[in-house]
Amino acid sequence: MSRDGATLLVVDDNEDNRYTLTNRLKRQGYGDVVTASDGRQALELLRARSFDLVLLDIQMPELNGYQVLEQLKAEEGLRHIPVIMISAVDELDSVVRCIELGAADYLPKPFNPTLLHARVSACLEKKRLHDALADWARTLEQRVEDKVAEVQRLGRLKRFFSPQLAELIVAGGADDPLKTHRREVTVVFLDLRGFTTFAETAEPEEVMGVLREYHAAMGELILGHEGTLERFTGDGMMVFFNDPVPIADPAERAIRMAVAMRARVAALAATWRKRGYELGLGVGIAQGYATLGAIGFEGRWDYGAIGTVTNLAARLCGEAKEAQILVSSRVLGLVEALVEAEEVGALALKGFLRPVPAFNVIGLRPHS
C-alpha cells in the first residue's frame, strides 16, 4: 500500500497534539490524514468511511482510548483496522492493557518521529497483507460456492445425461437443456414383457433384484450410446437422442442401442428362466418433434419431453412382443440401409385416429 493511498485517522482531544501529529504524518508522505477530537466522533468517522490506520490517544473525556478501542474491536466491520495507541501514559500496565484490547502498537508522548514512521509503516504493511488475504479468502469462498453449485448442477444433469455430456453442459459447451425448447428427437421406449405377472407373484426382494440387474445393463448401454434417459418407472424406460446436443445420426444410434439391449436382455432372461422368471424385452422407436425441458417444481425437477412422438414410441412399445423392436415408417426410412426389418402392418394405436404402419427390426445388416 503506497503512502498516498493510505487513509489515517488521528484521534486526540488536544488540538495542538492533533496539529503536530497530523503535520508530522503529512511530511512523512501520508497525504490523507483525518482528525477527530473525541472518541464518539472517531467511532462515527470509522463507521462512515474506510480507514487504514488509527492513531488513538488514551486520555480523553467521555470515551477514553481504551473504550474506543474496545468498541472498535467489537464491531465486525472495524476490528480489522490496526490501532496505534499514543499517550503520555507510559506505565507498563497501560501498554499491556492496550495490547490485550487489540492495539497493534503503542507509542508514548512525546513521540520519536523516526519510531513513529517505522511503526506506522509496519502497521500499514500488515493492513495491506490483511486486505490481500481477505480478498483472496473472499475469492476462494466464491470459487468454492461456484464449485459446489457446479457439482450440484452436474449431479442433477447426470440423472438424465451421460457424464461426458453433463460435464459439457456445465462447462458451457452446450445450451442449458432444462430451458424449454423444441427439437426433433428419436424416442425409444422399452419395458419387460411378463413383468406385471412376475411382480404380482414374486417376492419383493426378487423383483428388486431383477430390476437392479436390468437397470444396470440398460443404463450401461444408454450411456455407451450417449442417449438421454428421460425417465424410468419400474421396468419401463424412455430414452431419446438428438437432445440436448444435436447429433447427426439419432435414429441410427437409437437402433444400435435397441439391438444391443435386446441381446443383453436375452442373456439376462436365460439366467432369469433358471430362477423361474419368464421375462423378455419389448421396444418401440419413433422420430419427430417434441418440446423438451424441465418439468416439476422447486426442489423436485425432472427432464421431460412432450409431443406426439413420445406417445407413438410408447404405443409401439406396448404393441411389441418379446424380443421385438417396433419402429415407425419414418425411423425405418432413416435406417433402412442399416437394418433388416419386416413389416408388421398398420396398428390401431390408442390416441391415433388412423392405423400406424409399424416394422419389426430383425437385426443389423452384416458389416453395418
- What are the residue ranges spanned by the domains of the chain? 7-136, 175-364
Prediction pTM value: 0.59
User: What is the grid cell recorded at 305?
Assistant: 419431453
Which residue reads 479468502 in cell numbers? 137
The pairing of strands 356-364 and 339-347 is: antiparallel
The whole-number pLDDT of residue 1 equals 42
CATH H superfamily, domain 175-364: Nucleotide cyclase, GGDEF domain (3.30.70.1230)
Task: Render 264-284 in DSSP notation, one character per residue.
Answer: HHHHHHHHHHHTT---EEEEE
C-alpha triplet 286, 291, 294: angle, nearest 5°: 120
134, 135, 139, 140 alpha-carbon torsion, rounded to 10°: -30
pLDDT tens string, the chain, 368 residues long: the values are 445 578 999 999 989 888 989 998 888 888 889 999 999 999 999 999 999 999 999 888 888 999 999 999 999 889 889 999 887 766 778 878 888 889 988 888 887 888 888 888 888 888 888 888 878 888 888 887 777 777 776 676 666 565 655 666 667 655 666 678 899 999 999 999 999 999 999 999 999 999 999 999 999 999 899 888 887 788 999 999 998 878 889 999 999 999 999 999 999 999 999 999 999 999 999 999 999 887 777 766 677 788 999 999 999 999 999 999 999 999 999 999 999 999 999 999 999 999 999 999 999 998 76
Please give the CATH topology (third level) of the domain spanning 7-136.
Rossmann fold (3.40.50)
Identical fold at 7-136 and 175-364? no
Q: What is the C-alpha separation between 361 and 258, in angstroms, rounded?
A: 9
Cis peptide before 244 (omega within 30 of 0): yes
For residue 365, what is the DSSP state?
A: P
pLDDT tens-place string over residues 136-182: 888 888 887 777 777 776 676 666 565 655 666 667 655 666 678 89
Element (H, E) at 200: helix 195-201
Do residues 304 and 292 lie in contact, with contact meaning Cβ atoms separated by under 8 Å?
yes
